[in-house]
Amino acid sequence: MTRIYNNISDTIGSTPLVRVGKIIKSRATVLAKMEGFNPLASVKDRIGRSMIDAAEREGKITAGATIIEPTSGNTGIALAFVCAERDYKCILAMPESMSIER
């Protein structure tokens, strides 16, 4: 039966395991966790959701809060994604040490 989720962030982490026996010859069962199946195709989806979940659970953020995070990549994208869904304002700042292309 197909599972129906209440929101897109609930799908984060519901990634399948796939046997990779034809790639790696071994007596052990080797599995790959397909993190690319997350909504933003990144393992960082889990981190972004976990950070917001923990802050909510600990009472550190409440409705309408502003989240400020220094980041240069997928963690920031994941935070922005979860913040948008949960109506938090998200401000991402990239460290000056990062390349302009980043």
70: in domain: yes
pLDDT for res 85? 94
Expressed as residue numbers, the domain containing 61 is 8-93
Q: How many domains does the chain have?
A: 1
1: in domain: no
**34-85 pLDDT, tens digit each:** 999 999 999 999 999 999 999 999 999 999 999 999 988 899 999 999 999 9
Nearest CA-CA partner of 8 in 84, 71, 99, 89: 84
101: in domain: no
3: in domain: no
Sign of CA dihedral 33, 38, 44, 46: negative
99: in domain: no
49: in domain: yes
20 pLDDT above the threshold of 90: no
- Helix, strand, or coil here: 91? strand
| Residues in contact with 19: Cβ distance below 8 Å, sequence separation at least 6, in sequence order | 29, 30, 31
pLDDT band at 28; cut points 50, 70, 90: confident
pTM score, two decimals? Answer: 0.81
53: in domain: yes
Domain CATH code at residue 77: 3.40.50.1100
Identified catalytic residue from 22, 25, 33, 44: 44
31: in domain: yes
pLDDT band at 16; cut points 50, 70, 90: very high
pLDDT for res 11? 92
pLDDT for res 46? 96
Q: Is 33 a catalytic residue?
A: no
